Structure 1
């Protein structure tokens, strides 16, 4: 494959080779799970650092970060289930559509984490944690870190994967399919005179 990059080769193979397509989807699944688990674990761990016992209004309570944790676990489960089913069937269009949806979800939950933790910090809610205000502050920082992670790392990677497929790979695959169809037609036309001459 001199002069052909791996990405260009994969662009051509994605729509024509079922085995390569399925293997590519499995690798993307593993990467997505590796990316998604850290912020989910971080927010889950952050919820154990808060011990405010209802002394804080609900709209200021840092335990709202649990929403990000639940959403993160839902994204992981969605990735695992859809990827396994779609990979087994080779349905790469729906697979990458799911990635695009998860990119939007990841961005939304990341923003929510930043806003929720920011509100809690602005209202100094950790002052109400009489047992361990320092631990409460650590939990807020974990929530902020998880939000930044999802916005700055998870979302761009998912978005680029969806962009690559819908803008580049599908176009290359369609060109490749058209070229294969044209070659079959040319071979078919070339064979007609030979058949006539023999008969």
Structure 2
């Protein structure tokens, strides 16, 4: 009889404790992922590069690509990026897709944009042009482990409104994840999409907090 009572008590204790343990686990996880880690502070801005309109990383959440001169060969990369990431966030005013290219890629860039205009909101794409030295300077400021090959890399980056490069500092596959491979649908879908959501949520929470604080100050006055 005693053994039966003890067994029931243990079962009830486990059933009661499991939800609490699960809650504490997820609560701690939420705190860990409340912000997307800053991997590089104060990257070089692109305001000095040539573009159709004034272009800067400042006050924007930027997806940044260095796509070189062979844009014809990058249709797969761009399609992956557009379908898995960009089209979900084009409506946000503080979100932009920036493609940094060498000067000689201007005509190809325009043809590239026109070709994609039927399946993407290419009017949201921002092209910045510069010399290879200027492009290398911007890229080098990211301090990533990746390299440019003739002004090209398949990896795309997230730069925040304060010109910081964001990514993961404890990724299960890479350790520090500075950029996302535009050739990989899985990486864009499973990692980059999640990280863009996190940084957008981070800024929304900050904006909401500031608005609430402003309202509170006005009420006191």
Q: TM-score, normalised by structure 1?
A: 0.28
Larger radius of gyration: 1
Write 1 or 2 for the structure with the bigger share of helix: 1
Write 1 or 2 for the structure with the bigger share of strand: 2
